[in-house]
């Protein structure tokens, strides 16, 4: 276990020198600390206009991408809100210390030097609006009075219409309303709009202080339920919505790799199993998801506009990230919870004052890299416990094609160690290799290998194809190193 680093008594002032779009972190030139606007978007896959999805209306995220570096192969380390966010904010891989179980940071790593605490200890004013940590106890412990809590008038998980609210009571099994709702109201009537309004007020307040700020804004949409003002639903006429092209589960794939049911069933009118969702409902759900993307995008626009209005855009680093990808009927499944590219791949955009603009990096990067990158961008000392690596070099030279391997995991039956099967995935720009291992015995119960260059939708498991023997052996070695290099110092047993 590591211990919280003490920074009391000094503040590391850093230089952040930019010359012709090149970022330097030398302390020798000038002392300056940049503000950080830290934007998280829940359940957002890379189906955005700036990522090539022309049917999605995301002008503000597109604007941000044009002002920075967009990463095409960014991956979270576990495709679920709880563990992904805990891993990003602590800088620690989720297979360590039991993070993968989904427990609160306060439960598994109460002494962790988190990203927000690190910057606070280095002289930053910190504030939080919306969802950054998954668990309320973590938000309270991490931000305290620096959390801006919305005082909304919605009911349950965000419903405002009488029709939707009535359905909560009718759903006696799960006590949730419908999967989507679109009322003719202003943005601030729903949670993300109100949180953004609070963030704008907080940004103005923080901008008046001499100290730099770390302002985190967590947008909940497009997470279920898909609720947003009706004007965003109207942006996507029913005739323009199409079903996924990925109809079937991967051929020859591990039979437990993709779930048959899950979160969606909790909402009123939704079936228990995904294969019971008909095409008509699938089209409505996809339309609702797209509408929520545009709602979240509008909030991003307000944040960007406020930086300009306050005259602090050139003093602020912006990072926008998703906490995991999402399936919209793909593989005859919904939501997240796999090691498939669709679930681990996230939008990740860094916009640095006077840094590279309108640039794209195809090099694989990990969400774990966000923490050390922000540290280096401000010329600070990297905490020893961080598992990620700074990607400042890619912000300088985004087109650098490094043969980098990033990792993700997915635990099946994570709540019962004796039955837990852990999927360890090693990903490159082209390949996705997964080993499924029974935690209690170390037995390998399944393997998968996908070539995304030839099969971008990962529809065929090529694990037995002799053409890839050397590549599979290389990635298998990387997975073995990962497992052997992991300190399973948590209440659960180690892999024997």
3 state SS of 359:
strand
Q: What is the mean pLDDT of residues 417-430?
A: 92
Residue 14's pLDDT is 34
2 has pLDDT over 80 = no
Rounded CA-CA distance 7/30 in Å is: 21
DSSP 8-class letter at 216: E
439 has pLDDT over 80 = yes
- Categorize the per-residue pLDDT at 254 as very low, low, confident or very high, splitting at 50, 70 and 90: very high
Residue 487's pLDDT is 65
CATH class of the domain whose range is 406-484: alpha beta
- Categorize the per-residue pLDDT at 19 as very low, low, confident or very high, splitting at 50, 70 and 90: very low
17-396 under CATH 3.40.720.10, yes or no: yes
3 state SS of 344:
helix
3 state SS of 5:
coil
3 state SS of 29:
coil
Residue 402's pLDDT is 74
- Categorize the per-residue pLDDT at 5 as very low, low, confident or very high, splitting at 50, 70 and 90: very low
Rounded CA-CA distance 466/137 in Å is: 50
Closest by Cα among 244, 439, 222 to 342: 244
Q: What is the mean pLDDT of residues 454-461?
A: 98
Rounded CA-CA distance 418/21 in Å is: 52
Digit-coded pLDDT (tens) for 176-235: 999 999 999 999 999 999 999 999 999 999 999 999 999 999 999 999 999 999 999 999
Residue 417's pLDDT is 75
Question: What rounded mean pLDDT belongs to the chain?
Answer: 91
Residue 126's pLDDT is 98
Digit-coded pLDDT (tens) for 320-361: 999 999 999 999 999 999 999 999 999 999 999 989 999 999
Q: Indicate the pTM of the whole model.
A: 0.93
Closest by Cα among 424, 476, 417, 410 to 441: 417
Rounded CA-CA distance 225/222 in Å is: 8
Question: E-assigned strands of 324-443?
Answer: 327-328, 334-335, 345-351, 359-361, 365-366, 406-412, 421-427, 431-438
| Position with higher pLDDT, 352 vs 20 | 352
Residue 31's pLDDT is 59
Domain map (residue ranges) of the chain: 17-396, 406-484
Angle (CA) 85 179 187, round 5°: 75
Lowest model confidence (mean pLDDT) among 95-99, 166-170, 293-297: 95-99
Rounded CA-CA distance 347/349 in Å is: 7
Catalytic residue list: 81, 134
43: burial class by Cβ within 10 Å (0-12, 13-18, 19+)? buried
The b-or-e profile of 13-32 (16+ CB within 10 A means b, else e) is: ebbbbeeeeebebeeeeeee
6 has pLDDT over 90 = no
Q: Where are the alpha helices (DSSP H) in 244-367?
A: 279-310, 341-344
The CA-atom distances, in angstroms, between 290 and each of 52, 142, 236, 336, 378 are 14, 32, 8, 16, 36
- Categorize the per-residue pLDDT at 98 as very low, low, confident or very high, splitting at 50, 70 and 90: confident
Strands 359-361 and 69-75: parallel
8 has pLDDT over 60 = no
Digit-coded pLDDT (tens) for 62-71: 999 999 999 9
- Categorize the per-residue pLDDT at 415 as very low, low, confident or very high, splitting at 50, 70 and 90: confident
Q: C-alpha dihedral over 325, 326, 332, 333, to 10 degrees?
A: 110
């Amino acid at each position: 276990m590591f211990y919280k680093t003490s920074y009391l008594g000094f503040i590391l002032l850093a230089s952040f020198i930019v010359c012709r779009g090149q970022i330097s972190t030398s302390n020798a030139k000038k002392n300056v600390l940049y503000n950080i606007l830290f934007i998280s978007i829940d359940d957002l896959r890379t189906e955005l206009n700036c990522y090539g999805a022309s049917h999605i209306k995301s002008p503000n995220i597109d604007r941000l991408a044009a002002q920075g570096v967009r990463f095409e192969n960014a991956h979270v380390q576990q495709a679920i809100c709880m563990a992904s966010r805990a891993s990003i904010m602590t800088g620690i891989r989720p297979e360590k210390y039991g993070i993968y179980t989904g427990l609160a940071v306060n439960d598994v790593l109460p002494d962790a030097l988190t990203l927000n605490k690190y910057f606070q200890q280095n002289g930053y004013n910190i504030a939080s609006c919306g969802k950054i940590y998954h668990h309320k106890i973590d938000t309270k412990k991490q931000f305290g009075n620096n959390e801006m809590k919305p005082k909304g008038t919605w009911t349950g998980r965000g419903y405002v219409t009488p029709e939707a609210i009535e359905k909560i009571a009718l759903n006696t099994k799960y006590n949730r309303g419908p999967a989507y709702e679109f009322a003719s109201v202003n943005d601030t009537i729903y949670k993300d709009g109100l949180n953004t309004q609070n963030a704008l007020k907080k940004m103005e307040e923080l901008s008046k202080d001499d100290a730099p700020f770390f302002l985190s804004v967590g947008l909940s949409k497009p997470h279920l339920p898909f609720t947003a003002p009706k004007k965003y639903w109207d942006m996507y006429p029913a005739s323009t919505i199409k079903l996924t092209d990925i109809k079937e589960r991967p051929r020859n794939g591990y039979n437990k790799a993709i779930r048959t049911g899950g979160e969606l069933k909790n909402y009123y009118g939704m079936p228990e199993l995904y294969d019971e969702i008909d095409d008509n409902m699938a089209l409505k759900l996809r339309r609702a998801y797209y509408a929520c993307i545009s709602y979240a995008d509008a909030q991003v626009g307000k944040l960007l506009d406020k930086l300009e209005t306050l005259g602090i855009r050139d003093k602020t680093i912006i990072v926008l990230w998703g906490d995991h990808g999402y399936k919209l009927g793909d593989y005859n499944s919904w939501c997240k919870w796999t090691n498939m590219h669709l679930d681990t791949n996230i939008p990740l955009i860094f916009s640095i004052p006077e840094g590279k603009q309108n640039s794209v990096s195809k090099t694989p990067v990990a969400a774990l890299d966000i923490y050390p990158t922000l540290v280096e961008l401000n010329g600070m000392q990297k905490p020893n416990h961080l598992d990620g690596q700074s990607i400042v070099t890619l912000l300088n030279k985004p087109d650098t094609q490094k043969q980098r391997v990033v990792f993700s995991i997915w635990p099946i039956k994570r709540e019962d160690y004796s039955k837990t099967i852990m999927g360890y995935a090693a990903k490159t720009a082209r390949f996705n290799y997964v080993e499924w291992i029974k935690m209690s015995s170390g037995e390998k119960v399944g393997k998968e290998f996908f070539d995304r260059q030839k099969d971008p939708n990962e529809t065929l498991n090529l694990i037995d194809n002799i053409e890839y023997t050397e590549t599979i052996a290389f990635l298998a070695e990387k997975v073995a190193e990962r497992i052997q290099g992991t300190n399973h110092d948590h209440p659960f047993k180690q892999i024997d």
